[in-house]
Amino acid sequence: MTPRLRPAALRWALAPVAGLAQAASIALPGSGQPAWWLQLLSLTVLAGCVTHAASVRQAFGLAWAFATCWLAGTFWWLYISMHSYGGLAAPLAALAVLALAAFLGSYYAFAAAVHRRLAPARPWLAIPGFAALWLLAELMRGRWFTGFPWGAGGYAHLDGPLEGLAPWIGVYGIGFVAAAFAQAIALMPALWRSTRYWVALGTVAMVVAAATEGAPEWDRRAGTPLSVTLLQGNIPQDEKFEGHTGVPLALQWYGERLLGSTTALVVAPETAIPLLPQQLPENYLQDIAARFTKGNQAALLGMPLGSFQDGYTNSVVGLKPGADAYRFDKHHLVPFGEFIPPLFRWFTDLMNIPLGDFNRGPVGQSSFEFQGQRLAPNICYEDLFGEELAARFLEPARSPTVFVNVSNIGWFGDTLAIDQHLHISRMRALEFARPVIRATNTGATAFIDHRARVTQMFPRFTRGALVGEVEGREGTTPFAWWAARLGLWPLWIVGIAPLLPAALRLRRRAPT
């Protein structure tokens, strides 16, 4: 007879598989679509493994295995940027991805260990405890050491029953609610006869239903629709900064499209112009500026700015009639790609990534105002940080009517990074009830409406232009209101508050 798999061995087998399922839920391989049910299922498996772990140490290990597999499976494509384009040796690139996943996964491992240590006398109280600790781990990953929140569990709930919570509590709040449901499902076999269990579960379900089905309209049309051209140059990443190939191709192609545009606004992606202004051919930038400072058209184009003395910025330049050039400088920089963390100069020296150390722009920079719209640029990775974008909503009269994301995901090849980033932009559209337009080098160049629906999208890895209209919106969602004033502190409090009674009870039980 085949021996039965012991429960402990089963948990150790399930945890990493569930972690990989969590990674897939953000953007399913093949379709690239989010799968809320898979995120909930994988998190339920983790909750069950931690709840039934034989010890605090085992809970720590199971959660660490889950989180390391989840995060490595989510951003494995960092390997491509470091090895294929950065020139880092393949073993070192793979080890770097795994080390980052393991480090960030330790937040969830410690959360699981605390959950196991604080196991309440009444099992149904474990539901808010697990959700609170999950939320704290997500917040730590998203904020500490500049933060790397890519692939947060809440992104999987786009197009799912929890997406209506985004304008109220944001992506981290959705993750908190999903974790509560996951722990409740994991406890169902033990608690299905408990009245309190069903009352608690029913109450949460009714609150979610009320928030998602009966939500008020807090947005309204702003001005008239704006005709827009989004440019996608598809400059090969390994040639993008090469002086004899990618640079002249980019200057010629983007220059021709900018000068030949006919829509009210034309947007070129991150570092579409791959040289500093002082490095450009004579009159190149002046000719483009002259084109848009007269007439009735405007342009937003990505390019680096600065000098050796003053430092460099990853920026967006805005040109429109009758005004000086607008400038937006990226605030939230990518570690190793755009700034070098302390003590890691040796690591970046192993790679050949250009423009690797930028200055930061301030939070809450002004919008680019044109034809009744307030267009708020953000550059690539920084649209992960909704709490920073929220800083622009302090004054309703100056808050953005449209978000403009300019990106270059070409660093990560033809991978799910493109789909994941599209979903990140869609979540920002939901949180703020604002349309998002995206101009990228290789994809996904798209129009997203204020309800997070992709209305138009250009084929990936194709050179061309996507023409459409964007309808700006005004008004302030609850998330935009409180995040603009308090940042993420309300969520930190939600994460800490359910743990205090258990911690006090544990302290009273401790021997003196």
d(CA 283, CA 59): 64
Examine the residue annotation and report whether 69 is marked as an active-site residue of this protein. Answer: no
Q: Which two tokens stand for residue 255?
A: 């220059």
Beta-carbon contacts of 6 under 8 Å, excluding residues fewer than 6 positions away, are: none
Q: Which two tokens stand for residue 189?
A: 């076999």
Contact 182, 136 (CB under 8 A): no
Backbone angles phi, psi at 354, to 5 degrees: -75, 160
Count of C-beta atoms within a 10 Å radius of residue 75: 22
Examine the residue annotation and report whether 320 is marked as an active-site residue of this protein. Answer: no
- Give the active site residue among 138, 163, 270, 338: 270
Burial class (CB within 10 angstroms; exposed 0-12, middle 13-18, buried 19+) of 466: buried
Largest CA distance in the chain: 84
Contact 389, 422 (CB under 8 A): no
- Give the active site residue among 138, 380, 382, 471: 380
- Give the active site residue among 163, 240, 330, 471: 330
DSSP 3-state of 415: coil
Contact 183, 126 (CB under 8 A): yes
Contact 265, 300 (CB under 8 A): yes
Beta-carbon contacts of 502 under 8 Å, excluding residues fewer than 6 positions away, are: 118, 120, 125, 129
d(CA 66, CA 20): 8
Tell me what percent of the chain is helix, strand and coil, each rounded to the nearest 5: 50, 15, 35
- Up-side HSE of residue 113: CA atoms within 13 Å toward CB? 13
- List, as one string, the DSSP characters of 320-373: -TTSPPEEEE--SPPBTTTB--TT-HHHHHTS--SS---PPPPTTPPPEEETTE
Count of C-beta atoms within a 10 Å radius of residue 302: 28
Q: Which two tokens stand for residue 218?
A: 């807090």
d(CA 425, CA 448): 8
Tell me the catalytic residues: 270, 330, 380
